[in-house]
Each structure stands twice: as structure tokens, then as C-alpha cells.
Amino acid sequence: MRVSSATGIFTRLQRALVVAFACLCPMVLISCNTGKGVTDETSQHAALRIVNLVFNAGGPITVFLDSDTVVSGLAFEGQTSYQQIGIGIKTIQPTVPSTSSNVVSSTVANFLGATNYTYVAFGPAGNATSILLNDSTVDPGAGNFGFRLLNASIGSGPLDIYITPPGASLDVATPVIAAVAPGSNSGFVLIPAGNIEIRVTPANSKEIIFDSLPQTIAERALIDGVIYARGSGRLVNVALLNIDNVGTGRIVNNLLAQFKVVNG
């Protein structure tokens, strides 16, 4: 009898353990499985940054992604950080609410999961356009930063950009990126990190139409450099857009424009 009783208790314990294990298995699979039947949440979203470089637009812009508002009241030279969006085919449409007009034609793009994008609207009102950049990252390596150039100055023609130690002569220097046509962008190039000076010239020319104060660029940084116009003159300006987790950036003003204002 004792043996039989013990056997019955053991059998009931076995059954209880089997039921408990069966209930536990789905939770284990959900939390641990990295592929079959389990969705990685990051793959279901992209991120989008908006930059407004349309001058004389008549007011700040509002940008829609399909029917959703990505940003409203974005002034000239303003930018957003990366904002989470859904994936798939979507339409980007900037408007100027104060004029009830579309400042730039719509852009249709297929947004991929776990990918950052930068949308730049640029040019003069009435002739503005846009470009969508895929900000997928690559490691520039120790001692370097990665730099990609967008020529958003529609009336300037192809442009060269020089990135040198501060004060270096351009007489024998070669551009780090050459002859980028308006409305197009280069690939990434590797440049030594540290203190730099940025200068822009028309392609195959040493005529400087942009000059910066010294800038400090961190090792392994990735940057979208955007050359754009502030008006109808020959001088240009530069925006440095960091490809990072947030989507930070800054405007680098033209020393030549400041000199022109001071000296009339």
C-alpha cells in the first residue's frame, strides 16, 4: 500500500509538472526566439528627419507623410530629429499653410525597416525640389569621419568641396569631393577627424564661395554636408547633418557673407 500510494503521488506530480512546463513553453519561445514566428519590433519602423532649405517660401512649411503630419511650422534652415514612421510605400508632401500651396512636388518612397532617412527640401520658392537620403551607417574607422555631400544650391552649378586643416592653402589642394551637380549627392568619403576648415568652390575653380570657421569633427562621425543658397547671390551656406541616433545637426554660416555685410 505504501508503495502504491507513493507511486500515485509521484504520478500526480509528474502530471502537474508536465502541465506547468506546457504553459511555460510559449512564454520562453516568445521571449527568446529570434526568428521563426517572432517579430523584431525595430524592423517594423523607419525614422525620418526633415530639413527645410527652401528660401522665400512665404512662411514655415508643414510636411505630411501620407495623411499624417510629420512636422508643422518648420522655418527656413530648420530641421527635425529622426522621427519614427511606419514602413512601406509612402508619400511625402511639404506645404506652406500661409499660402495654401505645395512648396515642393510630392515624393513617393519605399521606407525600409530599421533604416534612417533624411528628407531635404531646397531651392527658391517656385523652383524648389527635394531629395531623400538613406542614412544607413558604415564605420569610417579609427581616426576618420565619413562625409557625404548634397549640392542643394540649384543655381550654383557643379561644386567642389575642400575639407582641410584650418588655414591650409588651396593652391595645391584637391577637393575631397568634386563636381557635385545641383540636386545630386556624392557617396561617402573618409576624412581625417579633428579640426577642419570647409571651403566650397565652383567645379575646377579656386574661387571660394564658402569659407567656414574651424570645425571640430569627432572620430567615427558620419555627416551629410548640404550646400544650399540663402538667396539669389553667388555665395552659399552649409548645413552639417549628423547621422547619429538622434539626428542632430547645425548650420555653418559663410564667413564671406559676414565679411560682405560688415564691409558693405
Half-sphere exposure of 118 (CA within 13 A, CB side): 32
Phi, psi (deg, nearest 5) at residue 28:
-65, -45
Band (9; pLDDT cuts 50, 70, 90): very low
Q: What is the DSSP letter of 47?
A: E
Percent of residues, the chain, with pLDDT higher than 90: 74
Note the CATH architecture for domain 139-264: Sandwich (2.60)
Is residue 4 predicted with pLDDT exceeding 60? Answer: no
Biggest CA-to-CA distance, the chain: 112
pLDDT digits (tens, 9 = 90+) for 76-127: 999 999 999 999 999 999 999 877 678 899 999 999 999 999 999 999 988 9
Identify whether the C-beta of residue 223 lies closer than 8 Å to the C-beta of residue 146: yes
Edge-to-edge strand list for the sheet holding 222-228? 189-192, 144-152, 222-228, 237-242, 249-252
What are the boundaries of each domain within the chain?
1-33, 40-136, 139-264
Band (231; pLDDT cuts 50, 70, 90): confident
Tell which residue, 231, 241, 78, has the closest CA to residue 156: 231
Are both 40-136 and 139-264 of the same fold?
yes
Measured from the Cβ of residue 42, the count of other Cβ atoms closer than 10 Å reads 11
- pTM flag (> 0.85): no
- Rounded CA gap, 66 and 88, in Å? 11
Cα dist from 214 to 9, 149, 163, 225, 251, whole Å: 81, 18, 10, 15, 13
Band (37; pLDDT cuts 50, 70, 90): low
The pLDDT value given to residue 206: 97
Note the CATH architecture for domain 40-136: Sandwich (2.60)
Identify whether the C-beta of residue 138 lies closer than 8 Å to the C-beta of residue 124: no
Which residues sit opposite 119 in a β-bridge? 50, 132
What does the pLDDT average to over 6-11? 42
Measured from the Cβ of residue 19, the count of other Cβ atoms closer than 10 Å reads 10
162-166, 230-234, 254-258 — most confident range: 162-166
Identify whether the C-beta of residue 154 lies closer than 8 Å to the C-beta of residue 129: yes
The pLDDT value given to residue 259: 56
